[in-house]
Structure 1
Amino acid sequence: MSTKTRLRAATIGGTADDVEAAFYEALQRGDVDALMDCWADEDEIFCVHPGGPRLVGADAIRSAFENMFGHGGAIHATPARVRKVESLASAVHNVLERVDVLTTEGRKHAFVLATNVYHKTAQGWRMVAHHASPGSAQEPGDAPEAPQTLH
């Protein structure tokens, strides 16, 4: 299914999964317009890139992705190991992203942990938050994670 078809499906009653697939396809193509079509038309949408500041609003998010695409084209991030919490009007997806980058030493990959939040809006399912954190240079194993204390 093409991105245009997925976005159309999302607009007329598709799923958060459809929007997520369109978001990652737009990243891989470096298509900022298609990427921004995945976002809700709300003032308080936000995005956090690994190690970056919180970007609030469509203009700030668009500008950041235009800058990223302008310095290397597409972002080759492939989602995997999606964990979902869903309800009638919202969905939260925790995603392990494999990011492939071309370095002077050849193609390398790293992993990023991302949380994508979707709301069902009048326009269909749309992303309202994308928060990505640095992962590791190696794919995490399938073993259950040990509990961690945050404070």
Structure 2
Amino acid sequence: MPKTSSPAATVTGSADDIEAAFYEALQRGDIEALMGCWSDDDEVFCVHPGGPRLVGQVAIRAAFEQMFGNGAIHATPARVRKVESIASAVHNVLERIEVLTSEGPRHAFVLATNVYHKTPHGWRMVAHHASPGSAHAPDDANEFPQTLH
């Protein structure tokens, strides 16, 4: 499948800039802009809540195209935690998802980790892993243990 150019493919700047472009593309349902945020590396991967691991741009694009078939995804990142180095950045975010129901808009929360690498084309996403969250905003101090054991 040939790669297409998109406005997001020309996004320059930091991993933060690519993350902002990614979430803006989700909110617009813009597959070209969304895929422009991803590295063209064959090993990029994405995991949606409860879904399988998708490897490569073709699989990732197909999953987002299917999701966009139901409309844009109203996801807003919040409570970002970052680990950054010269050539990589890991962002753990709480995604606030707005879902329209017959009773009006409802919100759900998803925990996501976004990984960015500095590539020859600038910063690009190489991984997005989202886990099911809850129907309410978690209280960082109470809902997430500081240790796993």
TM-score of the aligned structures, taking structure 2 as reference length: 0.90
Instruction: State the alpha-carbon separation in 1 of the partners of residues 77 and 9 from structure 2.
Output: 18
Partner of 1:102: 100
Matching of residue 8 in structure 1 with residue 4 in structure 2: no
| 1:148 Cα deviation from its structure 2 partner | 4.4
In the alignment, structure 1 residue 74 sits paired with structure 2 residue 68: no
- The residue number in structure 1 matching 2:127 is 129
Q: Note if contact 1:7-1:22 (Cα within 8 Å) is conserved in structure 2.
A: no
Q: Could you tell me which amino acid in structure 1 is paired with residue 137 of structure 2?
A: E
Deviation sequence 1:37-57 (CA, Å, 0-9, x none): 000010000000000000000
Structure 1 contact 7–19 (Cα < 8 Å) conserved: no
- Runs of 4 or more consecutive aligned structure 1 residues displaced over 6 Å after TM superposition: none
Q: CA RMSD in A?
A: 1.6
Gaps of 5+ in 2: 1-5
Q: Distance in 2 between matches of 1:92 and 1:40?
A: 15
Across the two proteins, how many residue pairs are aligned to each other? Answer: 143
Write the deviation string for residues 59-95 of structure 1: whole angstroms up to 9, x where unpaired: 000000000001x210000000000000000000000
Distance in 2 separating the partners of 1:65 and 1:9:
20
2:137 to 120, 136, 139: 139
Aligned partner of 1:56 in structure 2 is 55
- Give structure 1 stretches of 5+ with no counterpart: none
Q: Name the SS for the 1:33 alignment partner.
A: helix
Match of 1:117 in 2: 115
Q: Secondary structure at the match of 2:129?
A: strand
TM-score, with length taken from structure 1: 0.89
